[in-house]
Amino acid sequence: MAGDEPPARVMATLEPVFSPRAVAVLGVSRNPAKLGHRLLQNLKESGFLGTVYPVNPSGEAILGFASVSSIEALPEGIDLALVSLPAAAVPGAIRALAGRRARVAVVLSSGFGEVDAAGRDTQASLLETAKAAGLRLVGPNCMGVYSAPVRLNGTYFWDLPRIGGGIGVVSQSGAYGGLIIRYLGARGLGVSRFLSIGNQADVDIAEVIDYLADDPHTTLIACFVEALRDGRRFVDVAMRATARKPVVVLKGGRSAAGRRAAGSHTGSLAGTYDMYRPACGRAGVVLAEETEEFFDAIETLVTVGARRPSAPSVAIVTVSGGPSVIAADCAERSGLAVPGLDDRVQAVLRGLLPPFAAVGNPVDLTPQVEWEKIAPAVRCVLDQPEIAGAIAVNVGLDIPEFADGVVAAAQATGKPVVAFTADTPEITGRFKTAGVPVMPTPERAVRAWRALWSARAAATCPAAGPPRRLPPDVARALETHRGPLPYAQARRALEAYGVRFCRETTVPGPDETVAAAERIGYPVVVKASVDDVLHKTEAGAVRLGLTSAEAVRGAAREMATRTGAREFVVQQHVGPGVEVLIGARRDAVFGPVVAVGTGGIMAEVIGDVSFRLAPVDADEACAMLREGARERLLAGPRGLPACDVGPLAEMIVAVSDLMCVEPRVLEVDLNPVIAAGATAVAVDALVIVG
């Protein structure tokens, strides 16, 4: 695969796209209403620095360019061919370009993999022809290429903003790509490179990111993604890119309806959005939730430059109380901390500010603040080690001392600031001159600041542990079985990787359950061992808290009648404790993924689950346990003992290692794992192989 090539090779293969010396345009018409004519006109008006070869059967000059009558009349080895032909004519054109040793063809034509099975077959045939000749394909079903350094507008877009800048754009959607260029231009931000990749038959998003990571003309990479061919490769490439420059992604196709639309748009598997969050988080990519946030993040990262917060903790400094409350609410909803300032710092602020000022964070200087006290007050706040930056909020009090004080403190501490202002032209102007991004609402200012935290350089990927010695029958089952493993084998596979289970015994019939229960000690749990039952509670195959021989025997006999079970598992009754779900599955786009959430019979209803790409290490496992409701539950609410997260983290790492080392394991479900004090044990397990 081209994407497996080293960066130097990627640069070489995409250089003809972004820096061609000669461009052929296929499908050129003398009719100004035709797209082929528009394409040639855009090349002319952009002032392309290379040679242009329109291909038109008449052989007559078009728009001042001498044309050639056929592809066979083109010079050999032409760098870039822009193909704007009816779909039926494209296969012949690709064969002809391959015969002329063209290097790259950008196929703007639609009617291929995004349409139907026949279109997918034709697209596959195009790729086969191109690969055999060493011809790279961009598209099909795309809008072309733009490259400012060589003044190339090989797209269908006209009247593009002519603003210098270093933003490299790769977009699966051509129309959205044009929107990106225009919206950025409206904010005074310029694009260096743009490539619309459509169906990604050959060149894909990851390969373009890899090129732009090394491109000296690109300082930030912006991506509109509908589908990824290889999620792991995307993460690897994005990690390399974010070590050098920010990467901002907007993902289309998040809902079920959106995924259907994405599939019909590009013929690609969109993938579930839940997996994109951990993937982008691991790679240090800023994942925007919506169009507005996407452009705000890009503007903020360009404006602020290389400064990044050291932690996700922010101060809110304001003279406008209400908007600061909104900002604080949004910050905490967005995963940022708004830490309270300690008593010593508050005392200093009280000495600087009016007696009715709020000094805890948010810090409300109040409109009555003495203007010369603003700078030392803001500096006092930003000097605190628990504060990694600030949101400055000002509505209607247009005094330059506010902007000057915030800017001075930010410059002295190196901590980034984003502002929300309204009706303050003087302050807004001073902020912008000093490189402080200004947003039109408190929420947008908070999310823009969060982008700075998200864009920090990615950490090194954790490594999976070594293979473990499995019992021979379990090893054979992992090689040959399809579907859910028998419970006993699932348990032993997980135990081999370090998962701890409660005490239990498997017995061959209902009457034997009593002796097992008495050996374990009451109360006990009895489960029917039925291989094709995935959720025992729903099937009536489990009874909890049984405290007598009569209860155990009766429950086992009833379950035998209900389920046809011939074997039963008798377990110690574990509890009270916190029920946690630990699971994993093999995602179609991103490979092995680990899930941690609130467990028990209501796990799917509550939906309190976090995901990470496997492998995960102990630190990442602990971070998952701090998310959602888990941190509060594990802290010991309502008289329950607080739980040590260490044993749970070890279990999460064990499941992660199993998924990474055993490629035939498709899914693991430990629900529940019961944590209490310094212990955590699994009381049920599902392992699906295939």
> 12 in a domain, yes or no?
yes
> 590 in a domain, yes or no?
yes
**Angle formed at CA 136 by CA 133 and CA 141, multiple of 5 degrees:** 125
pLDDT in tens, 393-451: 999 999 999 999 999 999 999 999 999 999 999 999 999 999 999 999 999 999 999 99
Instruction: Report pLDDT for 253.
Output: 66
- 327, with CB counted inside 10 A (0-12, 13-18, 19+), is buried
Query: 454, 481, 513: which is the final residue of a domain?
Result: 454
Range of the domain at 317: 308-454
Identify the helix (H) or strand (E) that includes residue 616: none
Query: 514, 549, 573: which is the final residue of a domain?
Result: 573
672 preceded by cis ω (within 30°)? Answer: yes
Question: Over 70: is that where the pLDDT of 86 sits?
Answer: yes
* Res. 590 pLDDT band, cuts 50 70 90: very high
Q: What is the mean pLDDT of residues 244-263?
A: 71
- Shared domain for 553 and 672, answered yes or no, is no
Question: Over 80: is that where the pLDDT of 665 sits?
Answer: yes
Distance of CA 155 to the CA centre of its chain: 28
- Shared domain for 426 and 559, answered yes or no, is no
Q: What is the mean pLDDT of residues 383-394?
A: 98
> 148 in a domain, yes or no?
yes
- The conformation of residue 391, written as its DSSP 8-state character, comes to E
Whether the Cβ atoms of residue 220 and residue 42 lie closer than 8 Å to each other: no
> 339 in a domain, yes or no?
yes
Question: Over 80: is that where the pLDDT of 537 sits?
Answer: no
Question: Over 50: is that where the pLDDT of 138 sits?
Answer: yes
Q: What is the mean pLDDT of residues 92-114?
A: 96
Query: 266, 282, 301: which is the final residue of a domain?
Result: 301
pLDDT, greater one: 241 or 456 = 241
> 618 in a domain, yes or no?
yes
- Shared domain for 42 and 136, answered yes or no, is yes
Residue 285, SS3 per DSSP: coil
- Shared domain for 533 and 680, answered yes or no, is no
Burial pattern 87-106, b for ≥16 Cβ within 10 A else e, equals beebbebbbbbbebebbbbb
**What's the domain count of the chain?**
4
Question: Over 80: is that where the pLDDT of 8 sits?
Answer: no
Average pLDDT score, the chain: 92
- Shared domain for 239 and 144, answered yes or no, is yes
Instruction: Report pLDDT for 600.
Output: 79
Instruction: Report pLDDT for 380.
Output: 98
Q: Which two tokens stand for residue 215?
A: 């491109």
Whether the Cβ atoms of residue 321 and residue 358 lie closer than 8 Å to each other: yes
- Shared domain for 434 and 336, answered yes or no, is yes
* Res. 529 pLDDT band, cuts 50 70 90: confident
Q: What is the mean pLDDT of residues 127-143?
A: 96
Whether the Cβ atoms of residue 223 and residue 248 lie closer than 8 Å to each other: yes
Question: Which phi and psi (to 5°) does residue 467 adopt?
Answer: -60, 145
> 488 in a domain, yes or no?
no
pLDDT in tens, 16-49: 999 999 999 999 999 999 999 999 999 999 999 9
- Shared domain for 271 and 313, answered yes or no, is no
- Shared domain for 140 and 210, answered yes or no, is yes
What's 186-249 look like in SS3? HCCCCEEEEEECCCCCCCCHHHHHHHHHHCCCCCEEEEEECCCCCHHHHHHHHHHHHCCCCEEE
pLDDT in tens, 177-203: 999 999 999 999 999 999 999 999 999
Instruction: Report pLDDT for 516.
Output: 93
Q: Which two tokens stand for residue 485?
A: 């493993």
Instruction: Report pLDDT for 608.
Output: 86
Could you tell me where the DSSP H helices lie in 305-366?
Answer: 321-333, 343-352
Whether the Cβ atoms of residue 72 and residue 99 lie closer than 8 Å to each other: yes
pLDDT in tens, 258-308: 444 444 333 434 347 889 999 999 999 999 999 999 999 999 999 999 999
